Amino acid sequence: MALSEQLINDLINLVDETNVLLDESDLQHYGGDWCRQYSPNPSAIVFPRSTEQVQSVLKWANENQVAIVPSGGRTGLSGGATAMNGEVVVALDKMNRVVSSDTVAGTITVEAGMVTQVLQAEAEAIGWYYPVDFASSGSSQIGGNISTNAGGIKVIRYGMTRDWVLGLTVVTAAGEILHLNNGLLKNNTGYDLRHLFVGSEGTLGIIVEATIGLTQPPKSSSVLVLGLESMESMMPLLAEFKARCTVNAFEFFSLNALRLNQQHTGVQAPFETECPYYALIEVEVGSDDADEAVLASFEKAFEAGWIIDGVMSQSEQQAQSLWALREGISESLAPYTPYKNDLSVLTSKVPEFLAEVDAIAAQQYPEFEVVWFGHIGDGNLHLNILKPRDWEVSAFVEKCKAASEQIFAVVQRLQGSVSAEHGVGLLKKHALTYTRSHSEIQLMKQIKAAFDPKGIMNPGKVLD
């Protein structure tokens, strides 16, 4: 719906004219996210500066039945922050302050608009460490991370965002402020509503503050890149390193992913031997025992024939160069308008899963290039289908969607997820039944109705 002049004036009175944007260029910029399959069409962008202003905006929206789309760093890949139907976008960019920190408990409370990288720096400044990390950490915001339960490159050691959320302050659709768990480690008093908001994608209310648990800064680390002939070798390789070493990250990418990265960013191949698959492993070092364990696993991998070549970083600069082999892939694929699938299964089922999906892709997309990479250490694979230059985007997307049901059927049979870390948003809503049962979806709808009876919070996302 388009806002009337009176409603726009009411909104301006709530947050000040400088915090409401109406120009078309601003509507387009703030009205969407990194998922380019949907066209933004918001009525206004509003930047609250406090919890009380968020409360006022939501009370106004609830009274006038104005749909709201919460917006963080807009780095999502599923359309969860896209306003398509005249909604008002509530952008948290200006709510980015540290509220408090507790160096004894190892916690920090911040406003939801704080950028992830800034949160990491704030934690370091007080002698602690926030371990959740991913390629978009320089622009994503902690509220958005919590709303999508963001994962990233170190899940194998540190878990998902959910594992670090000790407390939340949220504003419901009716404008009620809820303080959930208050940062407590122990609080056994019934339903923990905090966890309903983690991964809720803005459909239940708006997260305005978060108390984040921190951990001790990591010890020194080294990065290995190993070349494999077969995906069947990936799981014993993972098991070997996990058994002996402290593994911070275990990533993989295919040969064509490496080649595209080289063409786009100019990174150098890790070694002369070309291999169908590569594993990137970050391990903790710095003590005699840890160093010996890494070398022992490296040698065992060669002796067992799991790898055919490999390299290990000898400096921080070399470690960063090796990480660039993995982290530059998404940027390298962007010019090809890739059709992305963010999938997960149990780690032990990854080789079977990849082989089955590869077969489907080869049959259904013989004219398309398929690129694999992902967080294989936690069972998360990114399937990217590249658009040929002579194909129109709409025709390409429809062609890719036609085979998605077969791929999702494999996910369902292996009891995996159609969205491992990118969320549901608009993009994966139709596929929710492949991961969630009918009973689960009905209960999710009832929870949505309890928190948002008028349906104004991010309508059309996750659930119809």
Per-residue pLDDT reduced to its tens digit, 116-163? 999 999 999 999 999 999 888 999 999 999 999 999 899 999 999 999
| 369, pLDDT greater than 70 | yes
What pTM value is reported for the model?
0.93
Closest Cα partner for 382 from 432, 332, 440?
332
Q: Distance between alpha carbon 359 and the CA centroid of its chain, in Å?
A: 27
Under the banding of pLDDT at 50, 70 and 90, the label for residue 281 is very high
| 451, pLDDT greater than 80 | yes
Tell me the mean pLDDT in the region 362-391: 92
pLDDT at 77: 87
pLDDT at 1: 66
Under the banding of pLDDT at 50, 70 and 90, the label for residue 35 is confident
pLDDT at 401: 87
pLDDT at 109: 98
Tell me the mean pLDDT in the region 179-206: 97
| 409, pLDDT greater than 90 | yes
| 80, pLDDT greater than 90 | yes
Residue 233 burial class via C-beta count within 10 angstroms: exposed 0-12, middle 13-18, buried 19 and up? buried
| 51, pLDDT greater than 70 | yes
Decide: 223 and 282 in contact? Cβ < 8 Å: yes
Tell me the mean pLDDT in the region 277-281: 98
Tell me the mean pLDDT in the region 69-92: 95
Tell me the mean pLDDT in the region 50-74: 97
pLDDT at 142: 98
Tell me the mean pLDDT in the region 283-290: 94
pLDDT at 191: 97
- Average the pLDDT over each of 139-153, 268-282, 296-310, 357-371 and give the range with the smallest value: 357-371
pLDDT at 17: 94
Cβ within 8 Å of residue 440, ≥6 positions away: none
* DSSP letter (8 states) at residue 129: B
- Average the pLDDT over each of 14-28, 360-374, 442-456 and give the range with the smallest value: 360-374
pLDDT at 37: 82
* Structural domains of the chain, ranges and CATH numbers in brackets: 5-94 (3.30.43.10), 98-213 (3.30.465.10), 221-330 (3.30.70.2190), 337-423+435-439 (3.30.70.2740)
C-beta atoms surrounding 72 within 10 Å: 29
pLDDT at 346: 96
Tell me the mean pLDDT in the region 77-101: 96
> Helix, strand, coil proportions of the chain in percent (round to 5)?
40, 20, 40
% of the chain at pLDDT higher than 70: 100
Under the banding of pLDDT at 50, 70 and 90, the label for residue 92 is very high
* DSSP β-bridge partners for residue 63: none
C-beta atoms surrounding 46 within 10 Å: 25
The SS3 of residue 396 is helix
